[in-house]
């Protein structure tokens, strides 16, 4: 099986594509309203789709209709030709805002209600798409919108109950494990790795106050070591680098990941 190597959509990724510096077999994972620009600026490049819309929660009681999410997602899937759709498996509120960290703009749901709404939405969305749906583990933040949704048992329950695939974000796993007081290996062991179809990789960083945050920074040796561990457990369809730094650093991390993928 050939594993797709991809990078997150960004101005740097688009500039590398335009200049011809990005290896031609590296795909780009675009998202939400970035999709239309990706179609214009990344012509000829393989595209993945992560979240067809933004500021959207699977826990909305009418999530498929909210913000025309299902119709917009289907339009963007057709336009990109993406082979699957990946989604955030959240949130603990029906309405959310991405600005300044994920914020709940409606009441916070209890665990069972959040779980049941998310499972129902994923099933509905899956019935209307021609591609698999993957759910991603999120990074625990100091926001009530993240209640429940970063606990590995909750993630596993929603993924399995909705019969979805799993997108493992290794930086998110490290952040959530730190906030929950778990070792990252114990956290990973509690996730549905048997359903892993894609892996997001990037370097988290410690912030003031001793909080580990999702920084989309360059890969550290420990990030690559964790990737080796999970690739030993299962072979994903794609490994995607989420990086927000310089072109040279992005290409350096792409080369490191390509070497690892070639070994499989």
pLDDT, tens digit only, all 264 positions of the chain:
799 999 999 999 999 999 999 999 999 999 999 999 999 999 999 999 999 999 999 999 999 999 999 999 999 999 999 999 999 998 999 998 877 677 899 999 999 999 999 999 999 999 999 999 999 999 998 889 899 999 999 999 999 999 999 999 999 999 999 999 999 999 999 999 999 999 999 999 999 888 999 999 999 999 999 999 999 989 999 999 999 899 999 999 999 999 999 988
Query: Model pTM?
Result: 0.96
87: nearest Cα among 128, 39, 31, 5: 31
Residues listed for the chain = 264
Strand 165-169 and strand 133-136: the pairing is parallel
| C-beta of residue 85 within 8 angstroms of C-beta of residue 47 | no
Domains and CATH numbers, the chain: 4-263 (3.20.20.150)
CA-to-CA distance for 128 and 70, rounded, in angstroms? 8
Nearest to 136 by CA among 176, 180, 88: 88
Three-point CA angle 62, 67, 70, nearest 5°: 70
């Amino acid at each position: 099986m050939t594993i797709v190597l991809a990078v997150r959509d960004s101005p740097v990724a688009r500039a590398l594509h335009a200049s011809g510096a990005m290896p031609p077999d590296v795909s780009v994972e675009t998202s939400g309203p970035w999709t239309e620009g990706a179609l214009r600026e990344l012509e000829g490049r393989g595209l993945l789709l992560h979240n067809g819309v933004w500021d959207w929660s699977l826990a909305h009681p009418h999530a498929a209709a909210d913000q025309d999410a299902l119709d917009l997602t289907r339009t963007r899937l057709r336009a990109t030709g993406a082979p699957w759709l990946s989604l955030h498996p959240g949130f603990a509120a029906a309405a959310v805002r991405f600005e300044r960290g994920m914020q709940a703009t409606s009441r916070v749901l209890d665990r069972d209600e959040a779980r049941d709404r998310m499972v129902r939405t994923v099933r509905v969305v899956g019935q209307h798409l021609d591609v698999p749906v993957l759910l991603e583990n999120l990074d625990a933040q100091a926001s009530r919108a993240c209640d429940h949704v970063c606990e590995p048992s909750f993630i596993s329950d929603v993924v399995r109950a909705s019969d979805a695939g799993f997108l493992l974000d290794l930086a998110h796993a490290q952040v959530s494990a730190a906030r929950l007081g778990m070792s990252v290996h114990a956290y990973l062991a509690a996730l549905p790795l048997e359903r892993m179809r894609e892996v997001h990789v990037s370097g988290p960083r410690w912030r003031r106050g001793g909080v580990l945050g999702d920084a989309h920074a360059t890969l550290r040796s420990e990030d690559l070591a964790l990737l080796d561990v999970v690739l030993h457990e299962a072979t994903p369809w794609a490994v995607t680098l989420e990086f927000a730094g310089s072109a040279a650093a992005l290409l350096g991390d792409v080369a490191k990941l390509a070497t690892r993928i070639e070994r499989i």
